[in-house]
Amino acid sequence: MMNFNRRALLLCAAVALPLAACSKKGPDGSSLEAIQARGKMVVATEDNYKPFEYIENGEPKGLDHDLLAGLKKKAAFDIQQQIIPWSGLLPGVTTGKYDAAITAAVITPERLKTLDFTMPIAEATQYYVVRAGETRIKGVADLAGKKVGVQSGGASFAALDDLKVTLAKSGGELGEVVQYTSFPEAYQDLANGRLDYVINGIVNLTSLTAEQPGRFRIGEAAGRPTYAAWAVAKGNITLLNYLNAYLAGARADGSLFELQQKWLGASFTDLPDAAPQ
C-alpha cells in the first residue's frame, strides 16, 4: 500500500481548494490553472452504473452524484456534468474532451498507462454472480468452461486474467466470454440462461442481489483486491491534487463514509490513501 501525505492534503483542502500553491502545473489544457482561467470544469459520469451513478425518473442518483454535489459547493468555478455511456467515459478523459471522470472507475494496470487516479472512493474487487437457483457453481473452480458475461473494456474484463490463472491451478480453463456495453444487459442474459455467470465489482453485485434476491446470488472473488476512484488524464497533477484534497476532506469530516453507507450499504474506512500503482 502506498503512503500518501494526508496531512498536506487536508491542509490544502481546508485552506484553499483551488490548490494552485499545492501542486505543479499539469501538461495539458485540463490542468487546474486552465480550468480556473476559463471558469469551468467539464466532468463525465456514467449513465447506468448503480449504485455509483444512475438515472431514476430522470434524476441522477448514486454515490458519485452526491460527492459531485459536494464538490460543486466548494469549487470556485462552474462544474458542468455530462452523463454518458461507459464506452466513451475514460477515452473522453484521455483525449481531453472531459477534464475528469467522476465515476467509480476500477484502477487497473492498463488504465494507469493513460490515466491518473484519485484516492479510492470504494472497494471494487471483482466477484462473480449466478442465478439464485444455480446448483452447478459452488466456487471459483466450478466456473471452468462456463459462459461468462463482462463489460467491454471494463474491470470485469480485466479480471479474466486473474481468473484464468486461478482456474489453471485446478486444471480448468476459461469458457466463452461475452462482452456487454452495460451490465443490465448481462444480468438479463444471466437471468434468462444465456450466461452461466457475470463478473462485476462487489459493491455493484451486493446492490443487485439486495434488490433481486430471488434471481441472483453472489459467489466468490474472481480477481485480486481492487479499488474504485475518479480519473484524470495522465500527468495532470494539478487537477489530481485538487480532487484528492476534496476527497481527503470528505474522509476527514466523515461525509464520504456516510455517503458510502447510504448508497453502498457499507462504509470503507480502511481504503488506501492513494491509488495503488
pLDDT at 4 over 80: no
18 and 47 together in one domain? yes
Residue 195: the pLDDT is 98
210 and 232 together in one domain? no
For residue 275, tell me if it sits in a domain. Answer: no
User: Would you tell me the crossing angle of helices 63-74 and 255-264 to the nearest 10 degrees?
Assistant: 150
DSSP code, position 93:
H
118 and 245 together in one domain? yes
Residue 151: strand pairing partners: 180
146 and 98 together in one domain? no
Write the CATH number for 168.
Answer: 3.40.190.10
Instruction: Write the pLDDT tens digit of every residue in 231-266.
Output: 999 999 999 999 999 999 999 999 999 999 999 988
210 and 231 together in one domain? no
24 and 99 together in one domain? yes
156 and 171 together in one domain? yes
Would you place residue 154 in the very low, low, confident or very high pLDDT band (cuts 50, 70, 90)? confident
47 and 154 together in one domain? no
For residue 277, tell me if it sits in a domain. Answer: no
Laid out side by side, the sheet with 197-201 consists of 177-180, 148-151, 197-201, 126-131, 216-221
| Residue % of the chain over a pLDDT of 70 | 90
CA 90 to chain CA centroid, Å, is 11
Domain count, the chain: 2
Residue 14: the pLDDT is 39
Query: Cα dihedral sign for 47, 48, 51, 55?
Result: positive
Query: What domain range includes position 105?
Result: 6-123+227-264
Per the CB < 8 A criterion, the answer to whether 263 and 53 are in contact is no
Residues 6+ apart with CB under 8 A from 44: 81, 82, 83, 84, 88, 89, 92, 93, 97, 98, 100, 101, 102, 103
For residue 231, tell me if it sits in a domain. Answer: yes
Per the CB < 8 A criterion, the answer to whether 44 and 82 are in contact is yes
Q: In whole angstroms, give the CA distance from residue 78 to residue 90.
A: 21
165 and 66 together in one domain? no
Residues 6+ apart with CB under 8 A from 113: 234
95 and 144 together in one domain? no
Residue 238: the pLDDT is 96
Of 186, 201, 221, the residue that ends a domain is 221
Residue 277: the pLDDT is 81
For residue 109, tell me if it sits in a domain. Answer: yes
118 and 132 together in one domain? no
First to last CA, the chain: 9
Q: In whole angstroms, give the CA distance from residue 169 to residue 1.
A: 27
What is the number of residues in the chain? 277
- Average pLDDT of span 149-168: 94
232 and 119 together in one domain? yes
For residue 182, tell me if it sits in a domain. Answer: yes
For residue 276, tell me if it sits in a domain. Answer: no
Stated pTM of the model: 0.77
For residue 274, tell me if it sits in a domain. Answer: no
